[in-house]
Amino acid sequence: MKDYLIVGSGLAGISFAQTCLENGKSFDVMDNNSTTSTRVAGGMYNPVILKRYSEVWRAKEQMELALPMYDRISEQIHVAFNFKTPIYRKFASVEEQNNWFQAADKPAMAPFLSTQIINKTYAHIPSPFGYGEVLYSGYLNTKLLLDGYIAFLQEQGCFVAQTFDYNALQILENTVVYDGKTYQNVIFAEGYGLQFNPFFNHLPLDGTKGELMVVKIPNLDIDFIFKAGVFLIPLGGDLYKVGATYNWTDKTDVPTPEGRKELEDELKSLINCPYEVLSHYAGVRPTVKDRRPLVGQHHQHQTLYVLNGLGTRGVMLGPYLAQALFNFIEVGQPLEAEINISRMCKKLGIRI
């Protein structure tokens, strides 16, 4: 018997698998290796909500768990996927500069916002009011992470490349059986695929489609993440990732002409040099209307758990939520009310 069956190999599933690994727990990860929102994500980690100059919920705690975990994973799978890169927020006015300094004076924000305005001139980027620098930021190449981690799990003999069949799950009193194997618990970390999960599809996972592009800009030459209306992430070799759009009605992972036009319009407003679009892709983020994750135990089946709703900040949230759920299961540490699915059960009239 193994301790855990983890369904899903996106950021949530990988984070829980790594937490198990580092705590001596046995597990299998099951996924059909299809395209997920993690695989196509921008992968940026940013402890600040730049639109409002406010702190991300539990930013300090998330960063303290996430960055060391990704460093350990990188060494473990022998893949460099974490690129620690400053974010430059372009100021549109003196008022925005003042708002930045006001935010930097707040104790929770001070560690993350530089108080030095960057007035350096970059070719092809008009910026008369300069930039503010976000500290402790960067991005993951999420495709490299997923491919490398799945290869590692395959070497360990604990990755099952299958689509999970909910009807084949036998729920016993204290264990579950799936495909002839017995597990202590099941962790459902399926992202937007939660809508097909009969045990947890009552949860209000909304889903927000995002579209991104990879472009070639030979004359830009920047080594920071540029953030204004959209983000521009340098990938090396004159390549940049541009994103992202937000669509709350279209739940497909098919890129659209409207999404491309929106991205190109935003890009043209940031730079004044030629570019070439090399690829355009889309994914559905697992978002929740109250902007908090969905973590916890099924109200009837005590061996079934959910780890979902990471939304647009999965890089930061994944390790933090995985540790919280692991501690809840293994040592009975209560989940924070903001992330516990019990908040949703009460609204839905489900007795827990």
SS3 content of the chain, % helix, strand, coil (to 5): 30, 30, 40
351: amino acid identity, one letter: R
- Predicted TM-score (pTM) of the model is 0.94
Q: Does domain 208-285 have CATH number 3.10.20.740?
A: no
2-45+143-206+289-348 and 208-285 share one fold: no
Distance CA 44, CA 132 (A): 17
DSSP summary character for residue 338 = T
Q: In sequence order, what DSSP letters do the residues of 10-49 get, joined into one string? A: SHHHHHHHHHHHHTT--EEEEE-----HHHHS--EE-SEE
What's the Cα-to-Cα distance from 205 to each of 46, 61, 212, 295, rounded to whole Å? 23, 24, 22, 12
Buried (b) or exposed (e) across 276-311, using 16+ Cβ within 10 A? eeeebbbbbbbbbeeebbbbbbbbeeebbbbbbbbb
Domain edges within the chain: 2-45+143-206+289-348, 86-136, 208-285
DSSP summary character for residue 300 = S
Q: What is the pLDDT along the chain (352 residues), one digit of tens a residue?
A: 999 999 999 999 999 999 999 999 999 999 976 556 777 778 999 999 988 888 899 999 999 999 999 999 999 999 999 999 999 999 999 999 999 999 999 998 999 999 999 998 888 999 999 999 999 999 999 999 999 999 999 999 999 999 999 999 999 999 999 999 999 999 999 999 999 999 999 999 989 999 999 999 998 989 999 988 899 999 999 999 999 999 999 999 999 999 999 999 999 999 999 999 999 999 999 999 888 999 999 999 999 999 999 998 999 999 999 999 999 999 999 999 999 999 887 666 665 5
Cβ atoms of 190 and 304 within 8 Å: the answer is: no
Distance CA 40, CA 42 (A): 7
Q: Does domain 2-45+143-206+289-348 have CATH number 3.50.50.60?
A: yes
Cβ atoms of 38 and 142 within 8 Å: the answer is: yes
